Structure 1
């Protein structure tokens, strides 16, 4: 950030990031009596120049800042996170990006219409469990669905033990069940594809219109995507909701914990396979394939498990490559004399 005005009397404080724009952050400075809203601008090439995209500050992060008498603020460091949600970086060779941090619950928002996708739910659940928070499935547009019980039962069978709330943000039906996950000091993050009703859902939680909403398209019953940047909304009861744009590059990353939890049924079956390194293809004594044949395990679920497993392995290799590339970049800056040696590799 480029400071302006009097740069004397610098003070340091702890702040909470409430919104992320391209080159600017909105923050709440923690004070004894109240929160003061400031803007902080990232200084290109200085902040975390020797760290990667994972450590880059995001919504929900608590950070240490330095301010001057004019109100300018510079982010100095990101404090340790209790939970974090990532997405894959669309730029090849770059580390994954933190999307939200320090939340208690992940609200997986999905609409009860033909846009509902079980494979997408598996992906969301894997990422949610891997984040370190607890997933809650929010099924929206109950007022437009003739058989909401069908979708609730579908989720309960696919994700046993995960809470499911079928709601209508328009009529308010079912919203009371969401309140148990909110309250002073609680933070939730919303995840869902474009047009599932996240903005309408947030407005219902706030009791007023704080976010623009798009009209429903008649041809496919989808709402138009309205969120354009990551932001934190403060609710009247003291809880905080982090909203994110529809995720176009949502990867599971190296989600070992998330995979094990989301697909615990397959992991349990795999314990009974004849071979420890069974790939669940055509191996003799494969307990997983046996479960598919006798109908205990849907073939769709196994195929999606394999797909996400392969994706996680690829993401792990990609992250390792990105870290090596970054280490080389740092080393070149520290040892300019060896620059040609690295370029030759």
Structure 2
């Protein structure tokens, strides 16, 4: 195995040279647990922690390592390492942090493809699918829709699901698989050495089973099917990078909430059909809700825009606006707190003299 097969690129190599990082080892974060990390190189894995200055200088989560990151590190004991710097990222898949107003959670870094897995028997949901597509598009990550557990429904039902996807989603590949190995040959055509694939989906949709089929061996533990709900038990408890013979996979715990941050136009890509009508709106600041002369509303009335897609677009757009507002408010509070601390420190120093 080489660093290139692990995903190291020419751009990262150039950064390594320009920043004088040749004196450090380079590796990829394959596991993150609180403030501890597992780093993988072509020959070894290291239990790592952050250098003090990297930890204390970090202004946000963006400055700290995440699964998929490349880092410069030094070994200080057998199998032990210190992380000195995080290399620039080519992409970041993120969502709103659950229960934390105005904050983000990094799902994974340096991703090339997002494999969005939905089971067709119970989990399939077009609105949720559009949410996953939006976080992929915002991250400039190419999405692939994987419909799992197709052996649990009949052909007509599967065809109906595919038609629903085609009516609302354009230019995204759709692959169907089952636990009985069906469909994995097609999925394997997307996998390439040196490329990184992030699995996205709810609990019990079959992500661990998918990894085992792709790898050709039992890499991940899988849960039994519950007869009560006909659903697999969720067994993944942390993010983990798995190096396969062909490509690199990042598995994730199932996500119940997919809060939109979207600072990079993901909504515009996901709902391109809707927003193409917006170019003909009478007002440039049209909200597409109540204005006369709104081309989007006119297309909606004429049946040219799917009502479900429009409702989901509006909901996610509001969510994005709220997140941006919450983020600005939180930054303002942090800034005021910083000023208060500096003032208190200065006052204490003056009292000493």
Q: TM-score scaled by structure 2?
A: 0.85
Q: Which residue of 1 aligns with 2:35?
A: 23
Instruction: Give me the whole-angstrom Cα distance separating, in 1, the residues matched to 2:56 and 2:29.
Output: 16
For residues 113-262 of structure 1, the aligned pairs below 5 Å read 113-147=121-155, 148-168=158-178, 170-237=179-246, 239-262=247-270
Any idea what the Cα deviations from partners look like across 1:292-339, whole Å, max 9, x if unmatched?
A: 222111211111111100111111122223334444566666665358
Cα 1:24–1:50 shift into 2, 3 Å: closer
Instruction: Give me the whole-angstrom Cα distance separating, in 2, the residues matched to 1:339 and 1:222.
Output: 61
Q: Which range moved further: 106-115 or 63-72? A: 63-72
For residues 52-67 of structure 1, the aligned pairs below 5 Å read 52-67=60-75
Shift of 1:158: 1.7
Shift of 1:234: 1.2
Q: Which residue of 2 aligns with 1:12?
A: 24
Tell whether 2:308 aligns with 1:296.
no
Q: Which range moved further: 79-88 or 19-28? A: 19-28
Instruction: Give me the whole-angstrom Cα distance separating, in 2, the residues matched to 1:27 and 1:300.
Output: 44
For residues 306-345 of structure 1, the aligned pairs below 5 Å read 306-327=314-335, 336-337=344-345
Asked whether the 8 Å contact 2:54–2:84 carries over to 1, the reply is no
Shift of 1:248: 3.1
Tell me the secondary structure at the aligned position of residue 63 of structure 1. strand
Tell me the secondary structure at the aligned position of residue 68 of structure 1. strand
Instruction: Give me the whole-angstrom Cα distance separating, in 1, the residues matched to 2:171 and 2:132.
Output: 15
Asked whether the 8 Å contact 2:29–2:68 carries over to 1, the reply is yes
Instruction: Give me the whole-angstrom Cα distance separating, in 2, the residues matched to 1:55 and 1:323.
Output: 16
Asked whether the 8 Å contact 1:100–1:189 carries over to 2, the reply is yes
Q: Which residue of 2 aligns with 1:8?
A: none
Tell me the secondary structure at the aligned position of residue 164 of structure 2. helix
Any idea what the Cα deviations from partners look like across 1:81-102, whole Å, max 9, x if unmatched?
A: 0011112123435631211011
Asked whether the 8 Å contact 2:223–2:235 carries over to 1, the reply is yes
Tell whether 2:50 aligns with 1:38.
no
Any idea what the Cα deviations from partners look like across 1:83-130, whole Å, max 9, x if unmatched?
A: 111121234356312110111100010111232111101111100111
Q: CA RMSD in A?
A: 2.2
Shift of 1:131: 1.1
Instruction: Give me the whole-angstrom Cα distance separating, in 2, the residues matched to 1:255 and 1:316.
Output: 9
Asked whether the 8 Å contact 1:95–1:323 carries over to 2, the reply is no
Tell me the secondary structure at the aligned position of residue 232 of structure 2. coil
The number of residue pairs the alignment matches comes to 324
Asked whether the 8 Å contact 2:121–2:150 carries over to 1, the reply is no
Cα 1:87–1:48 shift into 2, 3 Å: farther
Asked whether the 8 Å contact 1:140–1:166 carries over to 2, the reply is yes
Cα 1:132–1:276 shift into 2, 3 Å: same
Q: Which residue of 2 aligns with 1:263?
A: 271
Shift of 1:200: 0.6
Q: TM-score scaled by structure 1?
A: 0.87
5+ residue gaps, structure 1, are 1-10, 341-345
5+ residue gaps, structure 2, are 1-22, 349-353
